[in-house]
């Protein structure tokens, strides 16, 4: 059963909390925090994708695969389309970074945060919680 549309603002607020955490972590700019930055970037996008699905009355599974969520959204929202490779990179970066043996480089962090920022803006526009940048 799909969550009620009234849950959308809560999902957006949770996503924005992740983005705020990312921004705070970026101010420290230390190698040890790069993994956490990427994790919060992925979490923000995941929650916004789920918010849009809920807004459209769709069921939301407890998955973290951004490409799968994007495909689900694309199937019901003619306004949505995103490069699956970028989504997969953001998903895998957030997952791999949670385990020993993997460290996010400064370049990877910058690239993934840029992807997430663009995704965040596009999704916030679709959700009606942001205006397009000019």
- Domains along the sequence of the chain with CATH: 5-127 (1.20.120.330)
Contacts for 66-69 with beta carbons within 8 Å, 24 or more apart? Answer: 66/42, 66/90, 66/91, 67/91
Q: Write down the pLDDT at residue 95.
A: 85
pTM, rounded to two decimals: 0.91
Look at residues 85, 119, 105 and name the one whose alpha carbon lies nearest to residue 35: 105
CB 91 within 8 A of CB 64: yes
CB 55 within 8 A of CB 5: yes
Q: Write down the pLDDT at residue 61.
A: 87
In the predicted model, residues of the chain with pLDDT beneath 50 are 1, 134
CB 80 within 8 A of CB 10: no
Q: Write down the pLDDT at residue 105.
A: 92
Contacts of 86 (CB under 8 A, 6+ apart): 115, 119
**How far apart (Å, rounded) are the C-alpha atoms in residues 73 and 108?**
26
Q: Compute CA 74 distance to the chain's CA centroid, rounded to the nearest angstrom.
A: 15
Q: Write down the pLDDT at residue 71.
A: 96
Question: Residue 56 phi/psi, 5° resolution?
Answer: -90, 10
Contacts of 121 (CB under 8 A, 6+ apart): 130, 132, 133
Q: What is the mean pLDDT of the chain?
A: 91
């Amino acid at each position: 059963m799909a969550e009620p549309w009234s849950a959308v603002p809560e999902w957006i607020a949770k996503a924005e909390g992740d983005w705020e955490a990312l921004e705070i972590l970026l101010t420290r700019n230390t190698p040890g925090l790069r993994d956490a930055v990427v994790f919060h970037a992925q979490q923000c996008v995941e929650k916004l994708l789920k918010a849009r699905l809920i807004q459209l009355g769709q069921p939301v599974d407890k998955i973290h695969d951004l490409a799968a969520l994007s495909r689900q959204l694309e199937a019901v929202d003619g306004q949505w389309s995103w490069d699956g490779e970028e989504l997969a990179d953001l998903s895998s970066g957030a997952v791999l970074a949670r385990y020993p043996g993997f460290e996010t480089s400064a370049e990877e962090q910058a690239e993934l945060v840029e992807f997430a920022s663009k995704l965040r803006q596009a999704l916030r526009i679709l959700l009606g919680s942001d205006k397009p940048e000019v």
